[in-house]
Amino acid sequence: MKQRTLGKNGLSVSAIGLGCMGMSFGYGPAANEQEMIKLMHQAVDAGFNFFDTAEVYGPWVNEVLVGKALAPFKGKVTIASKFGFDIQDGKHVGVNSRPENIRAVADASLRRLGVETIDLFYQHRVDPKVPIEDVAGTVKDLIKAGKVRYFGLSEAGVKTIRKAHAEQAVTALQSEYSVWTRKYEAEVLPTLEELGIGFVAFSPLGKGFLAGKLDENASFAQGDIRNILPRFTQEALKANKKLVDLLNDIADRKSATPAQIAIAWVLAQKPWIVPIPGTTKTHRLIENIGASNIELTQEDLQEIKEASAKIKIVGERYTEAMEKTTGL
């Protein structure tokens, strides 16, 4: 797989990464551990070298899974993890980016991942009670101590990005980005380009919707986050199908799938954007790999731009309470 560079400090990763959250958390019951280890091995064999996890996924169990799966590939893969939630009794009860918590999470994540250094350490959500300069300064100290290699932010706004970057170079911002979630294009992406910060796009398939397999009759397992998201109500799924129809039209001409077109679209936006679709299925992993070989022409991109602009997306991406935890 082709490589892309995140940030100005030389972090080179596969053009598509693997989001590992759904293996343990967020989409119903956790998947079988041995099957997920096998899937991650298949990913490495296929050219993936960028894997994304976080302490809060589970919590904790996803880091353990990723560490166990990737132990044979130490030094050959990049593992990103995150801090910034307050976890009590196995549940996150708010944000917490106090310096002492960041340091404690770093040490615990190192143990769970079984590594000496966390390659990319993101602040998972902005903590309004802690100045971002203190957060960045704490991560700077962790970098000096050899516990962290690169600093990242997630779901942060322009002011936060600039303040953090002034204290410690931000290598990547991770936020949701896809053909149906484009709120970052107006201000955030130009700021990242100006500062030389990479962008890691989670949910490039719109939590599975853009793969084209969900309709208004879709149902989700207990514990699946989509049960509470406004975009996954029956009304929203029916209305938003117009966007999938558009991707299907392009896919038919390219002998591809709508999922591949959706990922290819993200890749085509900037050379420093790396999407990290998640999956628990081998055939989906193979399908996602195929997106890296699809070339969308300027005419294709213009067609998608003009057609999607006429489609009103129904439903917010998150509930109001969830959206408040972002820094935007």
Q: How do residues 171-189 score in pLDDT, each as one tens digit?
A: 999 999 999 999 999 999 9
Give the pLDDT mean for 77-101.
96
Checking if the pLDDT of 328 tops 50, the result is no
* Token pair of 34 as six digits: 């041995």
Give the pLDDT score at 324.
Answer: 78
Residues forming the active site: 57
Give the pLDDT score at 285.
Answer: 97
The domain 3-208+265-294 belongs to what CATH superfamily?
NADP-dependent oxidoreductase domain (3.20.20.100)
- The overall average pLDDT reported for the chain is 96
DSSP per-residue letters across 295-309: ---HHHHHHHHHHHH
pTM of the model: 0.97
Residue 273: beta bridge partners? 199
Range of weakest confidence among 86-95, 190-199, 254-263, 299-308: 86-95
Checking if the pLDDT of 155 tops 90, the result is yes
Give the pLDDT mean for 276-293.
97
Give the pLDDT mean for 238-245.
96
Query: What residues does each domain of the chain span?
Result: 3-208+265-294
Checking if the pLDDT of 251 tops 80, the result is yes
- Given its phi and psi angles, is residue 7 left (phi above 0), alpha (psi -120 to 50 degrees) or beta? left
Torsion (CA) 69, 75, 79, 85 in degrees, nearest 10: 100
CA distance 126 to 160: 8
Give the pLDDT mean for 240-261.
97
Checking if the pLDDT of 327 tops 70, the result is no
